[in-house]
Amino acid sequence: MRRAIAPFMVNIADGAVAADSHVDEPIRVELFGVERLEQHAESIAAADRVTEKPSRGRDLLPRVRDNGRVLLNAYHSIVEAVGEKRDITLAEEWLLDNFHVVDEQVREILDHLPRSYYRRLPKIAAGHLAGCPHVYGIAWAYVAHTDTRFEVESLARFIRA
């Protein structure tokens, strides 16, 4: 029997839309192929405006901390399931094998992204990601339109466009 762990279903990027209200809805938008991703990137580049005062913006670090806790709880649940010889999903197996990498990345964000640097990042001026760093908006769009399926080639083409 396969066992799904609800906390693992949290998408690291999903809190951006409502970072202040803590809505935990996953990103759900139209999925794009590579060519459509490139067109979308061009439209983002043409349309996005950043604030004149980049120091103002949403604080995303609490969301990073929350996601880190959720991932740690999921990891412990998976370890417990394995210890009890219960079947786990492929996603759980992946997290079990790669948790050290995920955990290291969360720690690096928390340890090495000082608020002074974060405040200097250009922020999106309007829309559902208003106040978030512009680079976050770019990442959000990629994640949203690929259903979090990371592919180096499509990301590179998206960024270049």
Alpha-carbon gap, residue 32 to 58, rounded angstroms: 28
- Domain ranges in the chain are 27-54+122-161, 55-120
Chunk the chain into consecutive blocks of 10 residues (it has 161) and report each block's average pLDDT, rounded to whole numbers.
Answer: 33 35 60 92 86 74 91 96 96 95 93 83 86 88 86 92 90
Residue 127 Cα distances to 62, 75, 138, angstroms: 21, 35, 13
- The residues facing 123 across adjacent strands are 133
- Which pLDDT score, from 0 to 100, does residue 27 have? 72
Residue 138 Cα distances to 44, 46, 74, 101, angstroms: 8, 13, 28, 23
What is the distance, to the nearest Å, from the Cα of residue 44 to the centroid of all Cα atoms in its chain? 18
Contact 128, 17 (CB under 8 A): yes
109: its two tokens:
């964000």
- Which pLDDT score, from 0 to 100, does residue 47 have? 83
Q: Mind listing the pLDDT tens digit for each residue in 19-60?
A: 343 334 667 788 899 999 999 999 988 887 888 776 667 788
